Structure 1
Amino acid sequence: MAVLFIKAFTLTLLGLLPMVNPPTTATLLLGLTKGMPAQQVSEQINKTAVCLFITLCITFFAGTSVLSFFGLTLPSLRLAGGLVISVIGFRMLFPSPAGKQNAQVSGTIAFVPLTIPSLCGPGTMALVLSGAVQIAELSPHISRLPLWTGMVAAFAALSLISWGVLKMATPVCRFMGESGIDALTRIMGFLLICMGMQFGITAVRDVVAGF
């Protein structure tokens, strides 16, 4: 059982870490929290780590059932995620004073967009769902418990790693200064738009391939 636990933990962590990509979310955090009090930024980072862990667990244990219940497919998930990312990127590329004030007051960036779709995007969800399906298809004599606990432990490790990387964003923010953060925000906005378009292209390609 210990071998199964270690194997599930290692494969899950190594497989999801490049998909989660916390440094990219750290740069997004810098842009979205420009001018936000340090305490509020810290609260958002803490909430983001918790949201990431909960989202990964829900996706793993109930993701397939939820998609089936609502009649959703992975291409639709990718397309929706791409649209969300594109809208956020457009707002970062062309910021408005009113938009900045609303972002600071509402404090709703922990779940969207930091957790979904930045840390836990369609690709990450698809990989987690794939792991859940593979475990479900294993031979009945193989114990599922160490595999489940191994993956959940990997989700916790990913959340902890993401929390540490996001915490480093604040010192970087002080080092870069206001003009540096503004420039980085616009660059990240453009890159997010590109990412959103890529998600959309991938979704359309998957649909066409299905036909």
Structure 2
Amino acid sequence: MVEFKPLVTLLAVVNPLAIVPFFIHFTQGFDAAQRRRTVVISSFTAFLVIAASALLGLDVLEFFGISLASFQVGGGLLLLTSALNMLNAQPAEAKPQTRDLEEGAQKAAMGDSIAVVPLTIPLLTGPATMSTVVIYAERAHTALQLAVLVGYGVVIGCASALCLSLAQPIARVLGRTGINVMTRLMGLILAALAVEVMAVGLLKLFPGLGH
């Protein structure tokens, strides 16, 4: 049975709409072809981050000797922090401050690709996204379930590509207020999911809590 909760959680964490103002900022002066290339690279990289987290995340935890229960509690706290940021109309991930944005623009001017850093990492997919994918990867008991989780990475990539491609119209239609309202709604959903993830981890660490 296909579970859609991971997709909902990822959409809430990534929240491509919140990246629209950053995309507009970084692509000022770009022609249409440069913008399209930036959208393609950024969206594909977001998919790669999610796929790598799903396929290799558990192996990385095992290598460092970290129990999944501990990771669930830590990841849940990270998700809850992201949710609180979103409830204050801030992007879920730890976004660069204005000074960092200017540094990013300077790097782009020097020829570095802003499609990967900072648009994809950390703006689209940061620690909270990776934690979410690893937690759900552990619940994938069959190859099909793991494939579905990787497939959700494709959905996230496509959603990101759509939002970034329509950045100018979205900014005009929704405005700052509309984007803030959607960010708060997604933050509320994410907060509930974060509490659930932490509860599962705590019950594994302290079985007595379930009695």
TM-score band by shorter chain is 0.5 to 0.7
Deviations along 1:107-165, whole A, 9 cap, x unmatched?
3342335224665553x43331022xx46xxxxxxxxxxx3xx4564454333332222
Deviations along 1:50-106, whole A, 9 cap, x unmatched?
11111111225444565626982412220122224434664738xxxx934634643
Partner of 2:177: 183
Partner of 1:112: 122
Query: Over the residues paired in the alignment, what is the CA RMSD in angstroms?
Result: 4.0
Matched, 1:125 2:134: yes
Deviations along 1:17-58, whole A, 9 cap, x unmatched?
444338963223324434221354543323212111111112
The correspondence for 1:75, drawn from 73, 96, 101, is 73
Q: Where do 5+ consecutive residues of structure 2 fail to align?
A: 28-34, 105-116
Q: Where do 5+ consecutive residues of structure 1 fail to align?
A: 1-10, 136-146
CA distance in 2 between partners of 1:91 and 1:103 (Å): 19
| Bigger shift: residues 159-168 or 79-88 | 79-88
Structure 1 counterpart SS, 2:166? helix
Distance 1:184 1:30, change over 3 A: farther
Kept after mapping to 1: 8 A contact 2:54/2:134: yes
Kept after mapping to 1: 8 A contact 2:137/2:146: no
The correspondence for 1:92, drawn from 90, 109, 115, is 90
Deviations along 1:157-206, whole A, 9 cap, x unmatched?
33333222211113432223447342233224433553564355446655
Distance 1:70 1:154, change over 3 A: closer
CA distance in 1 between partners of 2:18 and 2:182 (Å): 7
Give matches, 1:1-211, under 5 Å.
Answer: 11=1, 16-21=6-11, 25-37=15-27, 38=35, 39-63=37-61, 66=64, 68=66, 72-87=70-85, 90=88, 92=90, 99-100=97-98, 102-103=100-101, 105-106=103-104, 107-116=117-126, 119-120=129-130, 122=132, 124-131=133-140, 134=141, 147=143, 150=144, 153-178=147-172, 180-191=174-185, 193-195=187-189, 197-198=191-192, 201-202=195-196, 205-206=199-200, 207=202, 210=207, 211=209
Kept after mapping to 2: 8 A contact 1:13/1:155: no
Kept after mapping to 1: 8 A contact 2:17/2:163: yes
Distance 1:197 1:156, change over 3 A: closer
Q: TM-score, normalised by structure 2?
A: 0.60
Q: Which amino acid aligns with 2:18?
A: L
CA distance in 2 between partners of 1:161 and 1:99 (Å): 28
CA distance in 2 between partners of 1:17 and 1:200 (Å): 14
| Bigger shift: residues 29-38 or 194-203 | 194-203
Identity %: 5
How much has 1:13 moved relative to structure 2?
A: 7.6
Q: How many residues align?
A: 181
